Chains A and B, each alone.
Chain A
Amino acid sequence: MASLIELANPARFMRLSNVLLPWVAGIAVLLLLVGFYLAWFVAPADYQQGETIRIMYLHVPAAWLAMMFYSMMACSALGVLIWRHPLADVAQQAAAPIGAAFALICLLTGSFWGKPMWGTYWVWDARLTSMLVLFLLYLGVIALRRAIDEPSRAGRAVAILTLVGSVNIPIIKFSVDWWSTLHQPASVLRLSGPTIHTSMLWPLLILAVGFTLAALWLHAVAMQAELLRRRVRTLKILEAERLDRLSLQAAE
């Protein structure tokens, strides 16, 4: 735990991420290239769904990542509220747009797949609807962040909203499941082992890891940018105060 807190030092984070980021980016690109090659050229078309099955290789990782980034935001929210750690706030701020983007990708690719397969771009089915609600939660978090000017107060408000949302997500999921169900049940993460054939499972897993690394890379770069932005903001405030003092001295 002590090492984790040491890592949370912004300067140390900058140093470490500068070393790690090129490697993460390289591995991510490699995995994505291999994964997309397998998914497009090697993996067979589905006997029922035909070529549209290839949409799944983007759709499923996006869905996983949309959920993973909300969990990451909830963990960072705990860091903000309990330890009041600035880096946790930066992490949660950087995660929101990325998670929202993956939720949107998941919804869009899903509807592109749904048009030929189900005959419609959108159905009010349980899993689609929960993802849409998750997307709306992301938008609410981003909107609240933008509405509060002062970063540290915005961070704590967003943290509370994120935690309230994460308490609600299982309830929303359960109630939406009750409300309607048409989507196929989960087929990879099951206790009895995956029901998807290995020729399709491998590209999917490789792409999932690749997308996760790419998303983490984006997240770290966004965090770096935000740290620098905040540093510039502090420097500007300090400079303004210094000029203020100078003009006061000149007046005397």
Chain B
Amino acid sequence: MRRAFFAVLRRDLALAARAGGGGELALVFFLTMVVLVPFALGPDLNLLSRIGPAILWLGALLSTLIGLDRLFQADEEDGSLELMRASPLPLELSVFAKGLAHWLTTGLPLALAAPLLGLLVALPAEAILPLVASLIVGTPALSFIGASAAALTASLRRGGLILPVIVAPLTVPVLIFGVSAVDAARGGPLPAGTPLLILGAITLSAIVVGSIAAAAALRQSE
């Protein structure tokens, strides 16, 4: 069982590394998003520094969602999803492996690139570490909430735009606590750890609910 789990994980990581179009594209999109914001807001560094965490979180959210519709679609098309359904590994764990691979190739690079992009929006030095921490803790929730929606839309021909529409309202808590974790670390009224802990709780429950819901959705579309 463990071998099957790691096989799915390794396969998705290898696909992301060799086939392209996944993780690094999300990074480029993230960079583009963050670069576009100052053009809309004006080059006022004080303003940018104040809303910097929000810009980076919004960018991370959108870049995670943008490629998610392909998470199960490619497998549905080439038939590997059939193999996963037939394998002794529970479908929930296959979904978990795929979601984990998605996070390792999208969410984690986004979090690690955030300090560099933070420089563009004049994020103060003491906010950089909390930002990276909140992104590392929070982005798995985005991957797994998105995975359930990706499973629902896996067999749709025009699934591209419907996925963000479905997922966006469900990501409200992640966005709230992600940004407030950074703000708290910059001297907000709260102790810095609290929003981060709640964010961790949201992520853990999103992993469970997302995996189960996505597996149920994939079984329904047989």
Q: How far is the CB of A30 from chain B (nearest CB, A)?
A: 37
CA distance A209 to B177 in the complex (A): 38
Query: In the assembled complex, which residues on chain B have CB atoms less than 8 Å from the CB atom of A153?
Result: 220-221
**Inter-chain contact B166/A160, CB cutoff 8 Å:** no
Contact of A164 among B176, B177, B180, B213 (CB under 8 A): B213
- B169 an interface residue at 8 Å Cβ cutoff? yes
The stretch among B13-21, B95-103, B157-165 that forms the contact with chain A is B157-165
Q: With contacts A172-B172, A178-B176 known, is A163 near B153, CB below 8 A?
A: no
Query: In the assembled complex, which residues on chain B have CB atoms less than 8 Å from the CB atom of A179?
Result: 176, 180
In the complex, the chain B residue whose C-beta lies closest to that of A174 is: B173
In the complex, the chain B residue whose C-beta lies closest to that of A81 is: B216
Query: In the assembled complex, which residues on chain B have CB atoms less than 8 Å from the CB atom of A178?
Result: 176-177, 180
**Inter-chain contact A157/B173, CB cutoff 8 Å:** no
B-contact 0/1 string along A159-187, CB 8 Å cutoff? 01101110110011011101100000000
Q: Is the interface of B mostly helix, strand, loop or mixed?
A: helix
In the complex, the chain B residue whose C-beta lies closest to that of A164 is: B213
**Inter-chain contact A160/B221, CB cutoff 8 Å:** no
- A19 an interface residue at 8 Å Cβ cutoff? no
Query: In the assembled complex, which residues on chain A have CB atoms less than 8 Å from the CB atom of B33?
Result: none
**Inter-chain contact B213/A175, CB cutoff 8 Å:** no
CA distance A176 to B198 in the complex (A): 13
Q: Which of A120-166 contact B (CB under 8 A)?
A: 133, 136-137, 139-140, 143-144, 147-148, 153, 156-157, 160-161, 163-165
Q: With contacts A161-B166, A167-B209 known, is A175 near B176, CB below 8 A?
A: yes
Q: Is the interface of A mostly helix, strand, loop or mixed?
A: helix
**Inter-chain contact A164/B148, CB cutoff 8 Å:** yes
Q: With contacts A160-B148, A175-B176 known, is A143 near B166, CB below 8 A?
A: yes
Top 9 nearest A-B pairs (CB, nearest first) are A175-B173, A136-B169, A156-B220, A140-B166, A175-B176, A157-B152, A179-B176, A133-B169, A164-B213
Q: Would you mind naming 30 contact pairs between A and B with Cβ atoms under 8 Å apart?
A: A133-B169, A137-B169, A140-B165, A140-B166, A143-B162, A144-B152, A144-B153, A144-B166, A147-B153, A147-B159, A147-B162, A153-B220, A157-B217, A157-B220, A160-B213, A160-B216, A160-B217, A160-B220, A163-B213, A164-B148, A164-B170, A164-B213, A168-B169, A168-B173, A171-B202, A172-B170, A174-B173, A175-B173, A178-B176, A178-B180
